């Protein structure tokens, strides 16, 4: 299986991109609010390398506010078609402005406009209000590039623990865990 968790992640992720029918880059993101209440939602992995795992969001969203207040997170990839999971825990940092700008520029135009139009996680009186706001933003940027909103960026989860879970018959699963140490990674197995 190899002893570098990032290489193992790359191999499993490549298989998932071939076998998962939808959103092989979908991952559950768990954060913690100020009161200690956990919160989880699905987000999309947009980049990964040995530094960490990156996703993007509105900085006014609940997830962003929680990550700014408590910069720790847990991720979970579940690829049902492969009967595999990967769990990742670690501290969180905001991506650089250049990274956020580059990713935002790669998004489809309607997604760019939506980042301006959505007051993510805030109460919405009706869908019509959002749609009217979206049309106003579309008119505002008609005929020009859409810049990244100042309230939109990304976060990188810096892994300190990565667990690879493989389904086995009769719930005799295989669990391999990597823990970051000063000079690299230590690895071990966990009971199912």
Q: What is the DSSP string of 9-25?
A: HHHHHHHHHHH-SS-TT
Q: Is residue 143 part of a domain?
A: no
Residue 7: the pLDDT is 95
Q: Crossing angle for the helix pair 109-117 and 127-140, nearest 10 degrees? A: 120
Whole-prediction pTM value? 0.94
Please work out, in degrees rounded to the nearest 5, the angle formed at the alpha carbon of residue 50 by the alpha carbons of 49 and 55.
45
Residue 2: the pLDDT is 57
* pLDDT at position 62 over 60: yes
Residue 1: the pLDDT is 47
The DSSP 8-state label assigned to residue 149 in this structure reads P
Residue 3: the pLDDT is 77
Q: Is residue 142 part of a domain?
A: no
Q: Is residue 129 part of a domain?
A: no
Q: Is residue 74 part of a domain?
A: yes
Residues catalogued as catalytic: 171
Residue 49: the pLDDT is 96
Q: Is residue 78 part of a domain?
A: yes
Residue 10: the pLDDT is 97
Q: What is the pLDDT of residues 134-181, one digit of tens each?
A: 999 999 999 999 999 999 999 999 999 999 999 998 988 999 999 999
User: How many other C-beta atoms can be found within 10 angstroms of the C-beta atom of residue 77?
Assistant: 23
Between CA 47 and CA 98 the distance in angstroms is 14
CATH number at residue 100: 2.30.110.10
Between CA 178 and CA 9 the distance in angstroms is 11
Joined together, the tokens standing for residue 36 give 């200690």
Q: Which residues contact 61 (CB under 8 A, 6 or more apart)?
A: 120, 121
User: How many domains in the chain?
Assistant: 1
Residue 114: the pLDDT is 97
Q: What is the pLDDT of residues 105-129, one digit of tens each?
A: 999 999 999 999 999 989 999 999 9
Residue 40: the pLDDT is 98
- Residue 67, domain extent: 5-106+150-190
Q: Is residue 93 part of a domain?
A: yes
* pLDDT at position 34 over 90: no
Q: What is the pLDDT of residues 171-183, one digit of tens each?
A: 889 999 999 998 8
Residue-wise DSSP of 114-129: HHHH--TTS--S-HHH
Q: Is residue 176 part of a domain?
A: yes
The backbone torsions φ and ψ at residue 45, rounded to the nearest 5 degrees and listed phi first, read -65, 125
Q: Is residue 135 part of a domain?
A: no
């Amino acid at each position: 299986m190899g002893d570098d968790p990032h290489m193992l992640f790359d191999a499993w992720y490549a298989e998932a991109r071939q076998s998962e029918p939808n959103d092989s880059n979908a991952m559950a993101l768990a954060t913690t609010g100020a009161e200690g209440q956990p919160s989880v939602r699905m987000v999309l992995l947009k980049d990964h390398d040995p530094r960490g795992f990156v996703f993007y969001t509105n900085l006014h969203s609940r997830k962003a506010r929680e990550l700014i207040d408590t910069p720790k997170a847990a991720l979970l990839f579940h690829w049902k078609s492969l009967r595999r999971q990967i769990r990742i825990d670690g501290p969180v940092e905001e991506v650089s402005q250049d990274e956020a700008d580059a990713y935002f520029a790669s998004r489809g135009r309607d997604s760019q406009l939506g980042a301006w139009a959505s007051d993510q996680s805030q109460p919405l009186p009706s869908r019509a209000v959002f749609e009217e706001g979206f049309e106003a933003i579309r008119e505002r940027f008609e005929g020009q590039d859409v810049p990244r909103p100042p309230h939109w960026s990304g976060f990188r989860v810096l892994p300190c623990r990565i667990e690879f879970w493989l389904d086995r018959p009769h719930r005799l699963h295989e669990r391999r865990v990597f823990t970051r140490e000063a000079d690299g990674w230590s690895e071990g197995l966990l009971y199912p």
